[in-house]
Structure 1
Amino acid sequence: MVAILGISAFYHDSAAALVVDGKLVAAASEERFTRIKHDASFPTQAIAYCLAEAGIGESDIDHVGFYEKPLLKFDRLIETYLSYSPLGFRSFLRAIPTWVQQKLHLRREIRDGLNRQYQGRLCFCEHHQSHAASAFFPSPFDEAAILTMDGVGEWTTTSLGIGRGNRVSLSDEIRFPHSLGLLYSAFTFYAGFRVNSGEYKLMGLAPYGNPQYVDLIRTHLIDLKADGSFHLNLDYFNYCQGLTMTSAKFHRLFGRQPRKADTSIDQLDMDLAASIQVVTEDVILRTANHLHEKTGMDNLCMAGGVALNCVANGRLLREGPFKNVWVQPAAGDAGGALGVASLIWFQLLGNDRQPSVPDGQSGSLLGPSYCTDNIAGRLDQLGAVYQEIPDEGQRNRQVAQLLASGKVVGRFAGRMEFGPRALGNRSILGDPRCRDMQSVMNLKIKFRESFRPFAPVVLADHATDYFDIGEGIESPYMLMVCDIAEHRQIEPDGSSGPVSQGESGLSRVNEVRSDLPAITHVDYSARVQTVDQHRNPEFERLLRAFYEQTGCPVLINTSFNVRGEPIVCTPEEAFQCFMATDMDVLVLENLLLIKEDQQAVTRVSTDQYLSKFALD
């Protein structure tokens, strides 16, 4: 047995992944265990879980890999500070103590983190090489073009390459400070959202606006070439030398200071969101076209934080040159742990690779699970009232009936997902046919902005009847956006058929735009998850039970957490979230809990519960 541990840490979303004899057996982010969103500390608990899942200890590990080269990153940091000196002095003072105390001593930190039980060599690969490996090696392709895009690794912000057999090779790159990820984050910051976590909010806000600033962005902020390469005009940004993303010149260009987080969103924010989304999609499409011309390959693999822009991914699949697109579900830094572990097994150790079908990601269900008896014991200690329904068919029928009656159901079953999306095992579910379900779930359960759309999960064999997804196209990891099928669209005045885009503005949030109003975004799009019997058969059977009762093969699927909280990891966390919100039903493996039955449980107030998390 050969056990390889991959680690990402100290920058954003620390994580661990374990590959044993070439099989990805476990992966998890540290935030799920510490309950600190985007926890960047050494992933002690994530490592402990991965080793426990494989039944081994630190001394049984054969190889350890880290997802980037810290000294090369430090080189970029110092060179950037010197280039802007003395303007970057405050930023330098904030960053340098952590580097001196911790990041420059990463070998020591890793060995200490493994309790000095691991005595082997440590492998450090480049950040975008980790992304590329995480994209290609779990993919179902024997060969593929590779595109990675993010904020920045060491120096690279975009890389192009190919994967063949057991090797990945990167050939072209764009380097810091020119970064599509940082450009998008600058607009995230300017719109009042938190950088590195609020980008998906900007993406969700974009359909409410008009992209009227596209030409202004292209004229002043980015010099974009036909092949997708670009340069940013750094006069408009402050991330090289300061503590903010945008400069005074940026603010003058758009006529105001950045929006404060506690103020209302106005039309400028919506229009800028729409505009930068268009520019981002244009960059990605041009880059993909160039990569296709360069490689001649039919398949594309993607990773890096920009690859989580599912609107751009959907457009790339529809309009791009590649026949097949596979995106790493944990496309951000957390996925780098998976990437470096796979890279060591295949490329450094030279092991053969046989692509897995449908892929080698195991549905991204790579986190911890809990047995019913264990959960029941914990619930008994909490004084919870529950019903055990060991027969899966009976349980699914009962849950489906509750969903069909308008109840909101939290589902905690099987192994936890790896990546930012809940895919059914740590999910909150609802009936997408209910007109008020989006606002109820946003405001009373998730405690987040009302404009945020919810994603649908659909039986794969019914997807084309509800979504313009294309015959045979899968979206198992909720990473593609497509339109609602034309015959299901409804004009705001109630007429059916093809629709117009209408006017922009958050006032449109409650418009009924299809016969599945709770999952239809203002532009008639949806971030679709297809589910089949291969990746998550138990979740597929629940969805099929709902379909058999209602004739609707679609449910709302959103992550089991509230705003600012990592997705729940343990049964206790699921129960606490259930009790602190207006969720109606909780399913914990074979156990069913109804909110009204929990009279004897001391309920934590919503305010007390939310106070544990830094809302973003």
Structure 2
Amino acid sequence: MRILGISAFYHDSAAALVVDDEIVAAAQEERFTRKKHDPSFPSRAVAYCLQAGGIALDAVDFIVFYDKPFLKFERLLQTYVALAPRGFRSFRMAIPLWLREKLFQKRLLADELTKIGGDGDWGDRLRFCEHHLSHAASAFYPSPFEDAVVLTMDGVGEWATTSAAVGRGSALEIFEEIHFPHSLGLLYSAFTYYTGFKVNSGEYKLMGLAPYGEPKYAQTILDNLIDLKPDGSFRLDMSFFDYCTGLTMTNGRFSRLFGEPVRWPDQLLTPFHMDIAASIQAVLDEAVLRLTRSLAARTGLRNLCLAGGVALNCVANGKVLRDGCFDEIWIQPAAGDAGGALGAALATRYLHAGKPRKVAPGGRDLMQGAYLGNSYSQEECEQELRRAGARFTTVTDDALPDLVARALAEGKAVGWMQGRMEFGPRALGNRSILGDPRSPTMQKMLNLKVKYRESFRPFAPSVLREDVAQWFELDSDSPYMLLVAGVKEERCRTMSDAEQGLFGIDKLNVP
């Protein structure tokens, strides 16, 4: 059975091809168009997946979209009606687009697919899967677990913003949901907006900023913005937010609560913004811990799978692992909407077609290291370099490691490309920038001169699996850059009194 999954029209559009029990290919459209978080129909990603599978579109049994547009439209209408006359400006902007395009996504999808190939008669082959089921399926079915709790947390799907499911064998059933407008993802995005970063792409910047501040406002958030229950369920006080009916995430009351206006993107980051970032991160950590502890106690299961955009918060994930309420956790490396394409395909295979599921032996997952994208031959690389007018030399595979190690030791940055491209937002060694972590200037140099981004942004260490416990407070697999762990105390250098007095981003100046 050949199933093509598609996510599109919001952000991080992607395609994935599942053939029988194998995830053959998966890729995000942005990797081909070079448009970050490209929301357009993933025509290039679809073409790649078909090419990787060696099949034409007509040979695909099912094409599955990752959410249900009519349910989203229902949520939109009910929200505007419930809050009218507030939100008329937002309503006036949103409804024409829905009436013109989004309500007719089946026709739009059929038209786009016909451009790629086929006779245009998609009939029953074109299907739709609920958003959170797509996420949950993307986490459970490739996992190494026979049974598991599956927790999905994101901004919002159709209605659900947080959902809990149980997976056993081929079965997967969502048994609990928290609905819009109450959302951990949107709460975190509200603070992303408040600190001057772009919503739906800057959340990882907020997470990266948090370690430089103190959680001074965590209690303020808990007292005013979110009613967080002991079992992790929650409700937001919507009088502080504007995302239901307005054109911004927060309102004036939100700003008055913290005593500062919304930061503009070109304004300097101050200790206040670092403290705000630390505070919302602390609240998110606590909410996720309460949810996972409650789910472990109520289900009695010892394995946890995570998906949804919030599952890309590797700080919270690391705390769940260290908390020990579950023996093992597995996180879908493409946990955001891109992974919904894969989940929609897998849900169709196991839930709708009723196919049996095989768990990989030896504790392995089925993601193949997330190396599911395209690859290029030596000849193709050389042709592209010549076309660009680049100067280059070729070396043997045997000589390459010493050459790269020498360059790194000399303080140079190395662009490393090999094999198939990663699926998901993390660079996992096949499309990576390498630098020597011993260098006191490497992080700043890579951020400012290579990646052209904020100086505080972190980089992930790459360590041999057998050496992990020698360096970090962690002794488990972490292949997908989705867990944060502390550095072993004996590996940390003692800071001087002057260095101890540094605050925030100034800590980056400590060699």
The normalised TM-score by structure 1 is 0.80
Partner Cα distance (2:244, 2:391) in 1: 55
**8 Å contact from structure 2 (residues 339, 424) kept in 1:** yes
Unpaired runs of 5+ residues, structure 1, are: 513-616
Summarize the alignment of residues 539-558 of structure 1 with structure 2, pairs less than 5 Å apart.
Answer: none
1:432 corresponding residue in structure 2: 437
Q: Deviations over 1:64-88 (max 9, x none)?
A: 1111111000000111111222221
**Is the contact made by 2:21 and 2:358 (CA closer than 8 Å) also made in structure 1?**
no
Question: For 1:14 and 1:377, how far apart are their aligned partners in 2?
Answer: 29
Q: Which amino acid aligns with 1:262?
A: D
Say whether residues 1:220 and 2:220 are aligned partners.
Answer: no
* Equivalent residue runs for 1:185-196 within 5 Å: 185-196=189-200
Cα distance in 2 for residues equivalent to 1:266 and 1:402: 36
How do 1:363-512 and structure 2 match up within 5 A? 363-390=369-396, 392-470=397-475, 473-493=476-496, 504-512=503-511
Structure 1 position 494, deviation (Å): 9.0
Partner of 2:149, secondary structure, is: strand
Show the counterpart of 1:579: none
Quick one: distance in 2 between partners of 1:154 and 1:89? 21
The DSSP-based 3-state class of the residue aligned with 2:373 is coil
Matched, 1:283 2:282: no
Which residue identity is paired with 2:481?
A: M
Aligned equivalents of 1:506, 1:139: Cα separation in 2: 38
Measure how far apart 1:316 and its partner are.
Answer: 0.5
Match of 1:402, SS state, is helix
Shift in alpha-carbon separation, 1:360–1:501, aligned structure 2, 3 A: farther
TM-score between the two structures when normalised by the length of structure 2: 0.96
Superposition map of 1:530-609 within 5 A:
none
Residues 555-595 of structure 1 deviation map (CA, whole Å, 9 limit, x = unaligned): xxxxxxxxxxxxxxxxxxxxxxxxxxxxxxxxxxxxxxxxx
Give, in angstroms, the shift of residue 295 of structure 1: 1.1
Query: How far apart are the structure 2 equivalents of 1:335 and 1:16?
Result: 9
For the Cα contact (< 8 Å) 1:193–1:201, is it kept in 2?
A: yes
Any conservation in 2 of the 1:58–1:117 contact (CA below 8 Å)?
no
Q: Determine helix, strand or coil for the equivalent of 1:7.
A: strand
Which residue matches 1:346? 350
In 1, Cα distance between equivalents of 2:325 and 2:95: 44
Correspondence 1:360 to 2:366: yes
Measured against aligned partners, the alpha-carbon deviations of 1:472-509 in whole angstroms (never above 9, x if no partner) come to x01100000001111111132299xxxx9866322222
Q: 1:9-48 residue pairs with structure 2 within 5 A?
A: 9-48=8-47
Shift of 1:249: 0.8
Distance 1:382 1:448 in 2: 25
Aligned to 1:129: 133
Name the CA distance, whole Å, in 2 between partners of 1:297 and 1:113.
43
Local SS of the residue matching 2:463: strand
1:162 and 2:166 are equivalent in the alignment: yes
CA distance in 1, matches of 2:32, 2:136: 27
Instruction: Tell me the amino acid that sits aligned with residue 409 of structure 1.
Output: V
| Equivalent-residue separation in structure 2 for 1:377 and 1:210 (angstroms) | 51
Change (3 A) 1:320 1:90: farther
Q: Indicate whether 1:117 and 2:119 are aligned.
A: yes
**One-letter amino acid of the counterpart of residue 282, structure 1:** E
- Cα distance in 1, alignment partners of residues 136 and 400 from structure 2: 41
Residues 41-91 of structure 1, C-alpha deviations (whole Å, 9 max, x = no match)? 111111111111111111111101111111000000111111222221111
- Return the alpha-carbon distance in structure 2 between the equivalents of residues 202 and 382 of structure 1: 36
For 2:372, the aligned partner's letter is L
Contact kept, 8 Å, 1:33 with 1:45, in 2: the verdict is: yes
| Per-residue deviation, 1:457 | 0.9
- The 3 A distance-change label for structure 1 pair 335 and 229 is same
Q: Is the alpha carbon distance of 1:176 and 1:404 closer, same or farther for their aligned partners in structure 2, counting shifts above 3 Å?
A: same
CA distance in 2, matches of 1:383, 1:452: 32
Identity of aligned residues (%): 55
Question: Which letter maps to 1:299?
Answer: N
The answer to whether the 8 Å contact 1:288/1:320 transfers is no
Following superposition, the deviation at residue 463 of structure 1 comes to: 1.0
Secondary structure of the corresponding residue to residue 338 of structure 1? helix
